[in-house]
Amino acid sequence: MLHLVIAEAELEPVPKDIANHPAVVNHARRRGKRPEETILDATYHHAAIKKLPDGERRGRPDIVHVCLLNALESIANREGLLRVYVHTRNDEVIYVKPETRIPRNYNRFVGLMESLFKNRAVPRDLKLLRLEEKSLGELVDEIKPDGVFVMHEDGELMKPPEFGRTLSRFQNPLVVVGGFPHGDFRGKIPGRKVSLYREPLMAWTVVNEIIINFEHWSL
């Protein structure tokens, strides 16, 4: 089983510090929600987000959305070989059941994330997505992987098929992919650093390379 963690994802409700900013208030009103209940989104909160620390990378639910669409619809997931987790910048972990059908429409996905942050699980009965306060370290300890890899621009360069083969030699490998648009992890991430290409790649590209090259040696 491959455990894939989208880590330090830029997914969070609007922080209190900017909840009164006109860009945030107007966007929330148009959506019929209170500002603190909406998800921070760089596209709509651009003017407000600049005032926050790390403002140039925050508010990217779209990255999580595309990573989840790719991971959950992959052959590896259909074959029961994959578990996906989202760890956020605020040390929350979203557990995703493999049978989850993520909304294809972005705005619906954001609406689902708003419910999730409010109710801690969605839907209330099936709990396909469940959110807990948890650090990345605690999540790794809980999963008890027999190998931990961190996808990193400065990591050891491995061709994707070679990395897929490496993963397939473990029973329960865990791979960490940064869920942010650029730059480095903010926290210390334990594990073997690996890079799949000589230039930075988008998070969803790395997710696809990992899963499909893992499938190659595991199916």
Site of interaction with its own copies (CB under 8 A): 41, 43, 60, 62-63, 66, 69-70, 73-75, 78, 104-108, 159-161, 196-197, 199, 201-202, 204-205, 208-209, 212-213, 215-216, 219
Whose Cβ is closer to its own copies: residue 21's or residue 216's? Answer: 216
Question: Hey, is 190 helix, strand or coil?
Answer: coil
196 is in an annotated binding site: yes
Whose Cβ is closer to its own copies: residue 107's or residue 171's? Answer: 107
200 is in an annotated binding site: yes
126 is in an annotated binding site: no
Closest approach of its own copies to the CB of residue 193, in Å: 19
51: exposed, middle or buried (Cβ count in 10 Å: 0-12, 13-18, 19+): exposed
Contacts of 73 (CB under 8 A, 6+ apart): none
Query: Are residues 9 and 63 in contact, defined by beta-carbon separation less than 8 angstroms?
Result: yes
Structure tokens at 156: 């050891």
Nearest Cα residue to 83 out of 179, 2, 15: 2
187 is in an annotated binding site: no
Closest approach of its own copies to the CB of residue 133, in Å: 28
Structure tokens at 158: 């491995």
Query: Residues marked as binding?
Result: 178, 183, 196-201
